[in-house]
Amino acid sequence: MNKKTYIFLFTTIFLYSLFLVQLFPDTTVGNEKKNVLETVDVTDFEVPVRVFLKKKLVDNLKKEDFLLYEGGKLQKINGFYITRKKIDVKTDVSDEAKPAEVKGRYFVLVFKITEFNDQLKNGLNYLFDNLFRKNDQLLIFVNEKTFFINNLNNRSSVREVVSKMLHDESIKAKHRLFTILDKINTELSQSKLNQILASSMVQPALEMIKFLEKYIFIWDNYRKEYLTPSIDDYYNFARYLQKIDKEKWVINFYQIEMFPKLKNSGEMMQSIRTLISQLQVSDRSEDVFHSRTLSTLLMKISIALNATTDFPADEISKLFYKVDTVFHSIFIRTTKSVLSQDLEYKRVSTNLENSFREITEKTGGALISSGNISKSVQKLTEKEDILYMLTYTPQEGRKVGKIKILTKNPDYSVAYDNNMRDQYIKRYFRRKEMSAPSVKIESADLKGKDLEVKILDYFFRMENGKHLGKLKIHIQVVKNSGRVYFNQTKIIVADKKKFKITLNLKNLDPGEYSIVVDVLDLLTDKSDMKYFQRKYKN
């Protein structure tokens, strides 16, 4: 996955990632739907709707409370029913109940974290001890990593694997932030040294301008690479979940982002303010210009760390309506110590945080901000989703129009997918296919102890007189007991239009295995993934 995938997402939202994530297959998984409708059934069509009053779900409405339009024409609402659901905290099937009577659920856990602390460990323990059943399935995103669990027969083993992922990824995130901090400190120290050696007032002004410009450059690169969500990740996420024929829940764990910021009371900031004041009263037009430049840069930094750019959270929320999924979010508070005389960690607003907030609200999920993860998970299980299903027969038959739903109470707001009848997810990827080739896993299979993977349709570009492709391949082999036999990522430079990998899994024991192969074309950010299960016998 590329570094933007949070989800998924998520996304990588899942959300980077959340990773959002670009690693969703076109093939079916577990109890996924065997056939996805390619055409629209115009005889009877359902539209899921949530109704809010001051951001709280409204219950006990009737069919008569709604008006449904398509293509600007009022439609007759034929059917109407209400669904209410919570996450059941009963972990396993009772002795009296037959396993077939209690369906397994599909949980997507999205972790966007920078620190795997005791609170997060306790929250993870609560999930495995009080929430999950043996026949539940998990899809887990931790920053840039993806992990699929077919069942939870061996909870302790799975918990260890997830804990290790969280621990390893938090170390990477810390190292990434420390690298950024080191860059800023280096520029800061050099700027201070040059000011001390300066022989005129002009030189310190130029040094400070240069430092602030580099600071903005460092922040912009960090934000674009790690904090900006990809719309592709969300569409991949929706395409994948659309095929899962189970009760689906997304639980998003998001640690608030921090970034090194100049302290208002620090020596450097005071020097900049003093210099601005001195330059403003100078008789030289050059000095006045420099004072304005410094003031503008300070304002630009403040806006950059506190403002967000546009992200279509409303569009993404509709995707979750289309795939019948509730999106819960837990915002995890973080604290960072003062860094130096001039720098401190500052909470920054990001597209991810604001998008998660809106998506959570519109999909009927719970949004909790706390440092106590166990209580947060417990609280979100108490959140009841209330969904109204409106059924109608479109007057225009197969002509698909925009849907509009109103309630007779003007104080209510409604959330729904106004393109519910349209196959826009499929069309989105068709457009992507036309713009650039989309990498494909032609085949992946286990033959004895040899895992064979064939890849094609990746992008080629000319380098040193050769056409080369660049692929990031991740392979994961997990026994159904939860034991991980293989979990590695490798960058491959391909010089042929088709690429074949043969991996000898020499330590494979007899048993049933879940195998995930995902490939990312690093030249186009296109991805593909295959999941399959195989039994190995000696």
311 CB contacts (<8 Å, ≥6 apart)? 229, 351, 354, 355
Same-domain pairing of 52 and 128? yes
Final residue in a domain of this structure, among 327, 354, 387? 387
| 470 in any annotated domain | yes
Using DSSP, state whether 427 is helix, strand or coil. helix
Cis, bond preceding 11 (omega within 30 deg of 0): yes
Same-domain pairing of 445 and 348? no
User: How confident is residue 18, by pLDDT bands cut at 50, 70 and 90?
Assistant: very low
Residue bearing tokens 């604290």: 335
| 403 in any annotated domain | no
Is the Cβ–Cβ distance between 469 and 458 less than 8 Å? yes
| 206 in any annotated domain | yes
| 15 in any annotated domain | no
Same-domain pairing of 361 and 504? no
Same-domain pairing of 447 and 508? yes
Tens digit of pLDDT for each residue in 123-133?
999 999 999 98
Q: How many domains does the chain have?
A: 2
Same-domain pairing of 85 and 215? yes
Q: 237, 432, 390, 403: which is closest to 319 by C-alpha?
A: 237
Annotate 475-500 with DSSP letters as a single string. Answer: EEEEETTS-EEEEEEEEEEE-SSEEE
What is the per-residue pLDDT for 329? Answer: 92
Q: What is the CATH number of the domain that holds 496?
A: 2.60.40.2550
Q: Which two tokens stand for residue 496?
A: 């042929």
Same-domain pairing of 358 and 210? yes
Same-domain pairing of 200 and 335? yes
| 2 in any annotated domain | no
| 519 in any annotated domain | yes
The secondary structure of residue 395, as a DSSP letter, is: T
Final residue in a domain of this structure, among 324, 354, 387? 387
User: How confident is residue 84, by pLDDT bands cut at 50, 70 and 90?
Assistant: very high
Same-domain pairing of 459 and 343? no
Final residue in a domain of this structure, among 325, 353, 387? 387
User: Containing domain of residue 467, as a range?
Assistant: 437-536
Tens digit of pLDDT for each residue in 194-234?
776 565 666 788 888 988 999 999 988 888 777 777 787 78
Tens digit of pLDDT for each residue in 232-290?
778 888 888 888 888 999 999 988 888 888 888 888 888 889 889 988 988 888 889 98
Using DSSP, state whether 169 is helix, strand or coil. helix
Instruction: Lowest mean pLDDT of 32-46, 86-100, 172-186, 292-306, name the range.
Output: 32-46
Check whether 42 has a pLDDT greater than 70: no
What is the per-residue pLDDT for 309? Answer: 63
**What whole-number distance in Å separates Cα of residue 320 and Cα of residue 24?**
15
Same-domain pairing of 355 and 489? no
Calculate the average pLDDT of the chain. Answer: 81
| 36 in any annotated domain | no
Same-domain pairing of 383 and 441? no
Same-domain pairing of 444 and 368? no
Distance of CA 115 to the CA centre of its chain: 17
Same-domain pairing of 478 and 332? no
| 430 in any annotated domain | no
How far lies 136's CA from each of 86, 125, 171, 248, 478, in Å? Answer: 15, 16, 29, 10, 16
